[in-house]
């Protein structure tokens, strides 16, 4: 096995692992971060939007 192929193997493993790690970190952080919106207070007399855009 040449030096080039060894370096390529290492580089690809690092790149592939980095993409996988980004995904995993994203998943984990999304599960542990605070919610962006507080739960709606159902006692408020409001017409609830179906959605927004």
DSSP 7: H
Min dist CB 27 to other proteins, Å, is 4
Nearest to 37 by CA among 45, 49, 23: 49
Min dist CB 2 to other proteins, Å, is 9
Min dist CB 12 to other proteins, Å, is 3
Interacting residues with other proteins (CB under 8 A) = 1, 5-6, 8-9, 11-20, 22-27, 29-31, 35-36, 38-53
In the Cβ-directed half-sphere of 11, how many Cα atoms lie within 13 Å? 6
């Amino acid at each position: 096995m040449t030096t080039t192929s060894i370096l390529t193997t290492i580089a690809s493993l690092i790149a592939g692992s980095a993409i996988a790690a980004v995904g995993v970190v994203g998943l984990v952080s999304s599960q542990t971060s605070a919610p962006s919106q507080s739960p709606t207070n159902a006692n408020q007399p409001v017409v609830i939007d179906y959605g927004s855009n």
